Structure formats: structure tokens, C-alpha cells
Structure 1
Amino acid sequence: MAVQPLNPIAIQLGPIHIYWYGIIIACGALLGLMIAMREGNRRGLPKDTYVDLIMFAVPIAVICARIYYVAFEWSFYSQHPSQIIAVWNGGIAIYGALIGGVATTIVFCRKRHLSFWKVADVIAPSVILGQSLGRWGNFMDQQAHGGPTTRAALENMHLPNFIVNQMLINGTYYIPTFLYESIWDFAGFILLLILRRVNLRRGELFMSYVIWYSLGRSYIEGLRTDSLMLGPLRVSQWLAVVLIIFGVGLILFWRVKKEKRPYYLDA
């Protein structure tokens, strides 16, 4: 019996298609927003901080994610300019989204006279949880997978049948790297919740997110077959290494400098 992939379209209203990818991303963003609002209130931030922030950050992050992807695939898009805006055909990069989101948050905090590091610390667990959920959008679209494998190998991983079946793409089974990253990100979410109680200095929680995510991404990216390449390594691997070094270096700098930075749990 032939295995049929899951339909990536959740709702179809005439010419309008609503994809599972978009629904999953929206649910992740909404859940992350609720968590950030609750924690932000505890940390003494204005009630509307994260609602207002997400209104700007999400669309800018999506645009930056597309720009990032197109920039590293310019050899194709320079010949097919009409495809540059065709995000419905795939092609957004999470690091581009993070760059856009961070830049937006910096400007937002300056306008609102808020501490960027305080706002970023609170939202860090929400971001990585959203990333964990978002990878299931890749699952529905059969993207972000690894190299070829066999059904027997997938079944030996004790994966449920719906995941094994979805990894059959054009007659070939592939490694579910989307699942690896989803699990890694969810573990990072739990870790950041624990680190909240450790009461790190301001900024260190967000940098812990950057380091954790980049560590996992640097390995998992090497297993994927749809990555943007730059020389011998994938673009995301280069960027992950840079971010790990930057994150560790910044925390060490803060600690060695012995600057009197507020603690995370300070009101």
C-alpha cells in the first residue's frame, strides 16, 4: 500500500490556501507571547510590552528571514527575480529571522526606554519554544530533513508511524533532522526556565539561549541536505560558531569586568 504524505494545506477556501506551516508558526508565536507576558509582568515590565513588540518583530523577522535566504541563493534568484517574494514556495532562514527580531527589539527598547537585555532575557524561553514548535511546520512541508536512510532505520528509532511515513519523499526515506532540532530546542526551553531560578546576571539568560541554540544547530545543520553553503561548511554552521564564541566571550567579559549588572530576578 502506497504511503501518502500529510496534506500541507489545512484549509482551502477557493483560491485561498491556509497552510499548516503558518498555523503552527502562529500557534508557537501566540504561546510564546503568553509566556513572555506572564513573566514580563513578574519582572515589572509594562503590561503591553510584548504585545506591542511582537506586532513589529514578527513581520520584520519574516522579511529578514527571506532576505537572508535570497542573499545566499542569489545565483538562482538573480536569474528568477519574480521568485524573490514567493515565500509560499519555501525559503526562509531562521537566523535571518533572529537577526531581524533582535534588531527590532533593540530599536523598540530604545524608543520605550527599556533595557534591551531585560526584555531579551524574559523573551528568550518563548523564542526557543516557538522554534521548537515551528520545526513541525517543516515536518508538514517535508522540509529541513537529513540525508537518505531506510524505513527500517527509522523504525529502529521507535518513531511513530506518522513521522516515518512523512519522511518518505519521492520514494526515498530521509533522516528527520527537523525532529532533532525540535527536541533540542524544547530541551533548551526547559534549561532556560531552570536558569531563571539560578538568577543569572542581566543578559546572561539571553546569551545562554544563543549559545545553546547555536551548539545544537552547528551539529544538526551538518546532517541536512537543503542547507545554504559557504565554502566547506554550511552558512548556519559558520554563524553558529561565531555566535557561540561571541556568547561565551560576552559572558566572560561581563564576569571578568565585574560590572554591577542587575540580576534577572531583581524587580
Structure 2
Amino acid sequence: MPLASIPSPSQGVWYLGFVPIRAYALCIVLGVIFAVWLSERRWRARGGQAGTIIDIAVPAVIFGLIGGRLYHVVTDWQTYFGARAIKEPYQALFIWEGGLGIWGAVALGGVGVWLACRKRGLSLGAVADTVAPGIAFAQAIGRWGNWFNQELYGAPTTLPWGLEIDQAHGGEPGVLYHPTFLYESLWNLALGFALLFIGKRFSLRYGRLFALYIAGYTLGRFWIEGLRIDPVGGVDHAVEFLGLRINQYTAIVLFVGALIYFWVTRNRTGEEIVVPAGEAGEADPAHPSDLADPEREVASPADSDTQDERPRDGETPAQAETSRAGEAEAGPETATGSDTPNGVKAEAEPEIRTEAVPEEKNSR
């Protein structure tokens, strides 16, 4: 065994009494918690209400888990079905054994976000841009679950950071493998910080920051996917076509699509709703940036309490200006009437104007 290498954990499951605590699930949960926390702060900084991202995360996570598992089973169906199957078909439901396709998770999770935004009256693009960095960080954390499961590793390597894999998980004695889980984790970590910087520097809107997340992730995933061998039971079950894995084709399509969307929406303008009409309130005092951000989106046109400065019926602009100046000097009680003892506001008495009639001369 080389002097330098990355060992794999001896176990990935611990028991609290009879309850199994699985490292794979813990990594995913920690990633989700961090993503929600970060996205919630970013949403409030944009002027959104506290708790919005938490509410949206519930359907997003549920839909995402279902979508991620479906994608994994569909693209790795030989593991559960057919002559090469090494697991029973019902084990396709055992999500704790690993196997969540990020493409399915993002796609179906996006449906959950869309439904939540539609129900609350929020702009989907604003929410997508807000959560984009958090998703990248969540993936960086979640990938360590593959390390505990000793899965999704790469081809053999002689590099000093090669990964040790037990024979029970497809490894060979004295052979090290590319730690593709680590490559992807570091890539996602760098992508998350890049998205934070780009979003703050250029104030991208309308889902354009999320498009950069898709483009950035698929760019890294393409070359990392090319290193993986994915042996299950000693057999590589990855689906390939013309020398490329199906996940690499997916990465290419999504990369191109994200760049097209980013370009097409470059001149898009308009309001993004981050607070539904009728729910706007005071900014959270614990987040002064909510007040200081000059680019906060607004939910709807604010009701104005200012005095109508248009001329009244029959008045010229000059007369209207003179009338407003007189009301300001007289004060509110004189202008609008004073309150009577019974609490009913009395109306101002109308002004009585008299004109002098010239005295008629005797024509005697």
C-alpha cells in the first residue's frame, strides 16, 4: 500500500438502540439544513419575509428525493432488473443504500419549488437565484455520504490522494482509486463561493444566477463522470453510448441549455415579486441589510398617503397652489374641521362671500 492515501470509513451505519443512524442520510440532511439556512438569509436580504424559504424547502426536498431516486433507478436499472441484476427489485426503494441522481433531484425538486411559489405568489426566478449557491454547498456536503458508503469512486490511480476501497465494495488489495466524491465536493464548494461573488457583484436576476449554477455544475460533472467506474458487485452498471455515459450526455444538454437561457434573458427587465401583495411588512430589524440594500425588489406598488396635488374642480393650477399653502398655514384643525366632544369630526363651514352692490343714484 502506498505511503499516502485516503482511507475509507470502516462503517457507515451506527445504531442508537435498534434505530440505525446512517452517515449517508446525515450528510444529505446536513447539506439541506445548510442550504436552507443560507438561502433564508439571502432571501431576507432581498426583502423577502422570514420563513419563506423554509416553507418552500419542504415540498422541494420531498419532490427532490423522489426525483433523485427515480433518476438513479432509471439510469441504473440493470442493478435491480434484468439478467445482470444483483439486487431485488424492491431494493430500488432503499434510498439509504445510496443512489440519488442530482439531475432528477433538481428537476423534480424544481417542480416542488414552482408549486410553492405559485401558491404564495412569488417569482420563481427570484427564488431560484436565491437558493443557487446553497444547492452547490449542499451537494458539496452530501457527496461525503458516498465516501462512507464506499461508492461512486473512480478508476485506479497512483496519485498520493488515491482512495482505499474494501474488497466488499469492489476494491482490490493494494489498488487506489480516484476519490471522485472528493473532486465533486471541492468543485461544488468552489462553485458555491463563485456564485455568491457573482450574484453580489453583478446582481443577476430572473433565474440567471441559477443558470450559471447549472452550467458550472455540469461542466465539472462531465469530467468527473468520465473518471468513475461505479462497480456494483464487481460489475460496472453505468449506461454508456458511443463511449460516453448517459450522465455525461445529460451534462452536455443542460450545460448548453443553461448558457442559452443566460444569453436570451440578458436584456430582460421587470419586477420580481419577493413579497406577495398585501403581505408586505416592516423589514426584520435583525437584518439591517434588508433596509440598506438599494436593489431590493418590491412586492407591489405601495399605497401612497401623500396629499393629492391635482387642482380641484374649477381651480386653476395657481389657485390650487395658493389653496394648499393656506391649508398648510392654517393647520389640520382649521383645514379639515375640529373634533367635537362626541368624537364626530365637524365639517368646516363654507365660506360666505358677499359682493358690494353699487348704490343707485336718484334720477329724479
Task: Place the TM-score, normalised by the shorter chain, in its bin.
Answer: 0.7 to 0.9
Q: Distance in 2 between matches of 1:137 and 1:75?
A: 23
Q: 1:116 to 1:8 in 2, by over 3 A?
A: farther
Q: Which residue of 2 aligns with 1:119?
A: 127
Q: Distance in 1 between matches of 2:9 and 2:78?
A: 32
Pick from 231, 237, 243: which aligns with 2:241?
231
Deviation at 1:46, TM superposition (A): 2.3
Taking structure 1 as the reference length, the TM-score comes to 0.87
Q: Does 1:147 align with 2:155?
A: yes
Q: Which residue of 1 aligns with 2:9?
A: 6
Amino acid at match of 2:25: G
Which portions of structure 1, spanning 4 or more consecutive aligned residues, are displaced by more than 6 angstroms?
none
Cα shift readout 1:48-93 (whole Å, capped 9, x = no counterpart):
2111112111122111111111112334433532222122333221
Cα shift readout 1:15-39 (whole Å, capped 9, x = no counterpart):
4211111112111111111111111
Q: Distance in 1 between matches of 2:12 and 2:76?
A: 26
Query: For the Cα contact (< 8 Å) 2:9–2:147, is it kept in 1?
Result: no
Q: Distance in 2 between matches of 1:167 and 1:180?
A: 20
Which secondary structure state, in structure 1, belongs to the residue aligned with residue 93 of structure 2?
Answer: coil
Q: Which residue of 1 aligns with 2:177?
A: 174
Indicate the structure (1 or 2) with the bigger Cα radius of gyration.
2
Query: For the Cα contact (< 8 Å) 2:60–2:113, is it kept in 1?
Result: yes
Q: Which residue of 2 aligns with 1:208?
A: 212
Matches within 5 A, 1:58-73: 58-73=61-76
Query: For the Cα contact (< 8 Å) 1:167–1:174, is it kept in 2?
Result: no
- Which runs of no fewer than 5 residues in structure 2 stay unpaired? 83-87, 231-236, 273-292, 298-364
Q: How many residue pairs align between the two structures? A: 255
Q: Which residue of 1 aligns with 2:221?
A: 217
Q: Could you tell me the percent identity over the aligned residues?
A: 34
Q: Which residue of 1 aligns with 2:338?
A: none
Deviation at 1:4, TM superposition (A): 7.3
Q: Does 1:28 align with 2:39?
A: no
Q: Distance in 1 between matches of 2:10 and 2:52?
A: 37
Q: Which residue of 2 aligns with 1:247?
A: 258
Q: Does 1:187 align with 2:190?
A: yes
Deviation at 1:118, TM superposition (A): 0.1
Q: Which residue of 2 aligns with 1:131?
A: 139
**What RMSD over aligned residues (CA atoms) do the two structures have, in Å?**
2.4
Greater helix fraction, Structure 1 or Structure 2: 1
Query: For the Cα contact (< 8 Å) 1:139–1:166, is it kept in 2?
Result: no
Deviation at 1:262, TM superposition (A): 5.2
Q: Which residue of 1 aligns with 2:359?
A: none
Cα shift readout 1:203-239 (whole Å, capped 9, x = no counterpart):
1111110100011111111111127324122122111
Taking structure 2 as the reference length, the TM-score comes to 0.65
Matches within 5 A, 1:82-97: 82-97=90-105
Which secondary structure state, in structure 2, belongs to the residue aligned with residue 244 of structure 1?
Answer: helix
Amino acid at match of 2:179: P
Deviation at 1:170, TM superposition (A): 4.3
